[in-house]
Every structure is written in C-alpha cells, then in structure tokens.
Structure 1
C-alpha cells in the first residue's frame, strides 16, 4: 500500500492541550485524505487540524493517499480491521463501503444539522436511509465556452437552453478548419457528462425506491440528443470515441479545436497550464425541461469499528461545518454548506468558480447504491460508446435497463 509519509503534529498538540487544560488521555485520530489537500507543508488543512487539536485536545495523524489508490486501499485496510478512523471518500464510493459494513452510521448525530448542507452533497453520504458521511467539498459540471470561437460563429451570448446549445455547437463546427462545437468523452467519461442531461429532461437513472428508470422516454431522449451531436451534426471531434480521461476530453478545447466543453472546476488548472492565452468563460449548464448538474466531490466518513467515534465525529463536523467555507476558499474549491451559496459568499469566490456555485442548488448526486461503480463503468460506459457508434438510443437504454435491474437484484 503506497501512501505519503505520515504527518504528525503531536508536539504542537500536546503543548496546546496542556495550555488549554485538556486531558492527557485525549484521543488520537488517524485520518486519510486525498493527496491534493496535503500538497506541501503549508497546505491549509494542516492549519485547520492544528486549530481542531487546540480546541478539542485530540490529536490527528493525517495521511495523504492518491485518488487512484484510495478506494482499493480503504477496502483492504478496513476489511482487515485496520485503516483510518476518519477518511475522505469520493462520493461515488460511499455506498460500496457502507454496504460492506465498513462505515459508522451517523444518522442520529447529523439529523439536527442536515439543513446546514446543500441537499445534493448531503444526500451523497446517505445509503439505505442512513447517513454515513458528511460532505467535505462539492463540485459540479458547467459549460466552458471559447469566447472567440463563439463570436466568430456569429453568436452573441453563451447558450442557456438545449436548442441554443445545439445551434452553437453546429455553428462552431467547420469541417475545413477542423473545428468542432463541443468536446465530449468516450465510455465512462461521456457517461458522467450525460447524467446531467437525463435529469434536465425530467428523467431518472435509479430512483429513490431503487427502481431503474433508464428505458423511459425522458432518459432515452437525453442520450439521443447528445449522441446526435456526433452522429448527425459531427459537432464533436473523433476523439469522442476514445477519450478516456479528463486530459483527453479537455485537449480539443485547450487546442482551440472545440468551442465548448462540459466539465468541472478541476479543468481550470488544466486550461491555465495547457494554454495560458486561452480566452474562455464559464456558464451554468444550458437547461432542458429543468436545470440540473451532476455533482462530484469528497465526503468524510468514519470507520465502523473506530475506538474514537465521538472524537471522530467532532473532527468531520469541524471540517465540514461553517469553517469549511473559508477552508475550501483557500483551496479554490466549493464548500458544500448552504452558507456558501449566499450571494455574498458566491461573490467572494474567484470569478471562474462563481457559475458552479450559482447552480449548486440544482446539483444532483449519482444514485447512492452499492453497484453504482459497475453501473457507471460497465453499463453506462457501454451505452454511450454504442450510441455514438450509431446504435439507436432506445435500444441501448433498453439493454441498459435490463443490465441495471440484474445488478440491483444482486445481494
């Protein structure tokens, strides 16, 4: 298991503990977080943990683990009775770990504070009607637009509806210049991008009762709408067939060969590095029947058999509560609290982040079900691959419905 060196602040914590009169028997909490939060000794999280230690008398041993290794490492460690007391989880992992009995049920502790969090991010920590995690930070997808390409296509403003989105994509497509309207991913990357459109069309994937709804007309129409941007309008580059990571999805936009891209705030750093002269703007996703955007982000959860349940909950509450607005601002990320959505809080964000927070109220978490990872990669990844290669969306979604129902029936 690879991970960065354990970062301890025990000496500082002990000094503060004595000064504040804390017990020498204070709990020591082991915490795993995704490595970008601990990028360097001056990372904001270090200071926040010192403040927690000073206020509570507890100590925290924080370890950085890469995103690609975190889920596997957690399953292995927690299943053997080891692992951290507190862990940062991609919201897509909560259901699997909770279903395996590896996370502590925090339903009762969170009932009084539920309204302090945005509904979508808060729901991402719920599985089987029980709460297992609180949102550390959130993100969603918005529309990035190359302002120069839009103007050259004769369009005065960024699209706000599906019809305008399609028209802008077609207008910016030029076969001779090899430019395209919008960059999209293949397989599971494209699947992630299309979920927002299913919800925007009034469709569902798996509803709150655990029923597959993907074969219904609203979901089928959304997939068909996006697929035709490639199969009929040729408004997506050929890379849509193979783009399997965000770098490949972003590349046509960075190279100014695609006028738009649907992606999240993680793209900002990639664009600044890949093309510092790129002139673009960020906008809420164009709406269908209703506004919706798929959310991502990380939650904080507690090991089911931790020796320090009370102290561990104090820690996740400290990091995800009101203090998270300022903490996440330092990382240029979005706090998942409702306080972060006020006009004043949004205005305090860097301008490129403001559209993401402005549409936070329409954020939707992917279904929090144990089989979601498989449904996303194997089922929806195949759906998207098949429809951009010409398979009718109705047929692809009917097959997906059968596959999803089989996975949901597995215990």
Structure 2
C-alpha cells in the first residue's frame, strides 16, 4: 500500500534537537509494570496501511489475539494516521511517554536513529527475533545509517514498478513494456492522443517527487549527498536527473500539465480509468483492485533505465516500505522483542503482506506462492536486486521535504508554460540545499 508522508516529514527537523537523554518510550499504561521477566501488556502504534483506520483494526486485531494466546501478552493497539504519526513519535521521544513498539516509514530510520530514542538491533538483539539473515539485505539497508546497528527491522516492503495498460498498448501497436527511457518516451508519445496521456505522475506530492528523482539520480550518477554526508543537491548529475523528470511535462509533453498539482493518488485513479497508459508506482495492486481494475488489464515491468546501464546506474527503485521499531527505554523489553519476532515470523509475514498487497522482507515468507503473481514477482525481483535505500543520513527527512518541494515548484512552472532549463533546475536545487540544517 502506497503511503503519503508529506506533512510528517517536515516535522523531523525538531527531532534532531532532542538529546538522547530526553528520548524515551514505553508508556506507563502499556508497560505491564517493571517486571520484564513476565510482561503482561504492551502498546503498539501501527501505521495506516489499509483502506481506513477501521480496516487496519480489522486486519490486525485477530493477529494480536494470536500473539496473546501464544505468549499471554496483551497488545494495546492504536492505528495512527500518517499525517499524525511522526509528530506523535517526536512527542514521545521528548516526553518519554510513548508506545513500546511502533511502525515507522523506512525513510525515517536514520533520522529517528539519530535522536537516540530507538532500540538498536545489534547482533544479540537480532538473535532474539530469529536473526538478521532472514531479511532481504536491501530492506536492512533502509533501517538505519551505514556502519551502525539498525534502529528498526523491516515489516512491509514495497518497490516501484512501471504499470502499463495492456488494452491501450495493444491499440497503439506497442507489443511490450519499455525497458529504456528512450523506449518509454517513444511509446508515451504514441499513447498521448485524444486527451489521454502516455504517462501519469504525482507532481504535487513532495515525497513522491523525491522517490522518483532519487532513482533517476542513481541512474545519472548522483547521490544527493557526498561521501562525507554533505548535501549535493545541485550537482550537474542531480540537475540532469531532476530535469529529466520535470521534462515529462515541460519538454516531452507525455504527462498532463494538471499532473503537476496531483498529490492524493489522482495518478492512480487516472491509470485505473484509462486516462493515462503508464505510471511508476509502489506495489499498486490492492489500490487498483479497489478502483475496479482487474489484474489482467495491466502489466508491471521494472522502471526503465538508460540503455546499457549497469551497477548503480541500473537502479530501478528506492527501497520502499514500513519498519518496526522498539523504544529503547521501554519497560517491557522482553515482551516487545517477542512481539517483533511474532510480526516478522514467516506466518505473519505471509498473512499481513498478502492482505496489504506488499512484499515480505523476510526471504522465506516472500517465496510463498501468494507473492508469485506476475506483478509481485517483478517487484520482488526489483526490491531484491535493483533497488537502493534513500540516503541514510540524519537529515534525510529534511532532504525529502526540500528537494521534493523544489521538484514540485519546477513542475508547477513547467505546467504554467515557463521554460525548464539546466539553470532554472539548478537554482531551485541550490535554494533547497541552502535551507538544509547543518549536519
């Protein structure tokens, strides 16, 4: 299930001013007392993955009952909307009053890790939940800064794919999905006719913009941060990547100008209703089904790459998904780790990821037949073999907000008919870089 964390990402600036001594978790009401040898209750903040808060409760509560039957530990569940989740986490780190276990967007991992609030998953801690090797390496790479013990474990994973409308392709005489950007531009030009467009983008969505230009950045040889962790937003390679994305509207005219304002899944709706022929989206099967589109009506291919690209220049997706964390000072550590072990068990991974249309980050669970449909097979391969995590730096969320907003501004200007040049792109990215706080 694709998630929207635009407003939440801006709040993480404040988190990095919180010292480790102020960080906390494990509310009194949910701690089950101070006896870790026999915990009775724990609290869990779950992110909204389903169609509604109530839908998530319907999905999760039967599973939590299973955990209680197995362990005797009662879980107090709260499903928190994405619009509120990060602010709730920050308040918990500052006050010391929060849940025992919680979901976080995986792109927040390094930023929240820097506050000192989350339990590090060192080798001994991983052993308590079944071991680190059970997880896909790409998903572990999105659980904290390189060289440090992860601050979370992967729970639900996703990857971007190129979704294409089979009927529209056939009508245009296109026999297969494009594998390179030149092929995509040629196909999209054929499909842009009669008020319909070849490609849909979500240009008003700050997080979506970052996800897309990060992948293009890797393909252009840009990382947005240098080896020392300093911002490099306006490097020539980063400028080229952002310009390629903006040019879908500005120069190539294969995406509708109105897409510059899209921020609430309108791109998905346009694809489901045949207004656009292609879109780049995270694990969209459940969303498309809810919009009345049948799986046989569309195909999923990897996001295109430059012709002949290899290595990092052949990255096709950022590592998307949800991680599971434990507050470091929980009064219910044993129970919390038992819960993490339960939620990442093969059985629960199969059950929950199948329900939400996501990909199990646990390797054995992901090999189940339920995740072998054509679309998920493609996305699983991308996640395992050609994805990369967003920069795992303390200021990652500020990067998302500032660069995502710069791209949004550039797309809005392009939609208004203003020229998009290397200089105009560089100016927006330089402005974004100048607003980054010191590391």
Normalised-by-shorter TM-score class: 0.7 to 0.9
Cross-structure match for 1:58 = 73
* Match of residue 160, structure 1, among 157, 172, 179: 179
Normalised by the length of structure 1, the TM-score is: 0.83
- Given that 2:48 and 2:82 are in contact with CA atoms closer than 8 Å, whether structure 1 keeps it comes out as yes
- What is the 5 A alignment of 1:4-403? 25-36=38-49, 39=54, 43-110=58-125, 113-127=131-145, 129-174=148-193, 177-187=194-204, 188=206, 189-207=208-226, 209-246=228-265, 248-265=266-283, 267-276=284-293, 279-288=297-306, 289=309, 290-327=314-351, 328-342=353-367, 345=368, 348-361=371-384, 362-386=386-410, 389=414, 390-393=419-422, 395-397=424-426, 399-401=428-430, 403=432
- Given that 2:163 and 2:300 are in contact with CA atoms closer than 8 Å, whether structure 1 keeps it comes out as yes
Aligned counterparts of 1:369 and 1:405: Cα–Cα separation in 2: 17
Unaligned runs of 5+ in 2: 1-29, 31-35
Alignment partner of 2:198: what SS? strand
Cα offsets for 1:280-314 (capped at 9, x unmatched): 22222122321320222111111122112232122
Aligned counterparts of 1:41 and 1:104: Cα–Cα separation in 2: 25
Aligned counterparts of 1:42 and 1:236: Cα–Cα separation in 2: 37
Aligned counterparts of 2:123 and 2:438: Cα–Cα separation in 1: 29
Measured at CA, do residues 273 and 92 of structure 1 come closer, stay the same or move farther in structure 2, by a change above 3 Å?
same
1:32 Cα deviation from its structure 2 partner: 1.1
Unaligned runs of 5+ in 1: 1-9, 11-22
- Given that 1:324 and 1:335 are in contact with CA atoms closer than 8 Å, whether structure 2 keeps it comes out as no
1:404 and 2:427 matched: no
- Given that 2:191 and 2:197 are in contact with CA atoms closer than 8 Å, whether structure 1 keeps it comes out as yes
Alignment partner of 1:127: what SS? coil
1:263 Cα deviation from its structure 2 partner: 0.9
Measured at CA, do residues 73 and 111 of structure 1 come closer, stay the same or move farther in structure 2, by a change above 3 Å?
closer
Q: Would you say how many aligned residue pairs link Structure 1 and Structure 2?
A: 383
Aligned counterparts of 2:149 and 2:430: Cα–Cα separation in 1: 26
- Given that 1:35 and 1:66 are in contact with CA atoms closer than 8 Å, whether structure 2 keeps it comes out as yes
Measured at CA, do residues 257 and 35 of structure 1 come closer, stay the same or move farther in structure 2, by a change above 3 Å?
closer
Measured at CA, do residues 140 and 393 of structure 1 come closer, stay the same or move farther in structure 2, by a change above 3 Å?
farther
Q: CA RMSD in A?
A: 2.9
Aligned counterparts of 1:218 and 1:41: Cα–Cα separation in 2: 41
1:408 Cα deviation from its structure 2 partner: 5.0
1:103 Cα deviation from its structure 2 partner: 1.5
Measured at CA, do residues 274 and 347 of structure 1 come closer, stay the same or move farther in structure 2, by a change above 3 Å?
closer
Aligned counterparts of 1:111 and 1:405: Cα–Cα separation in 2: 39
Aligned counterparts of 1:233 and 1:164: Cα–Cα separation in 2: 13
Cα offsets for 1:209-243 (capped at 9, x unmatched): 41334433433322222222221221111112211
- Given that 1:285 and 1:293 are in contact with CA atoms closer than 8 Å, whether structure 2 keeps it comes out as yes
Cross-structure match for 1:16 = none
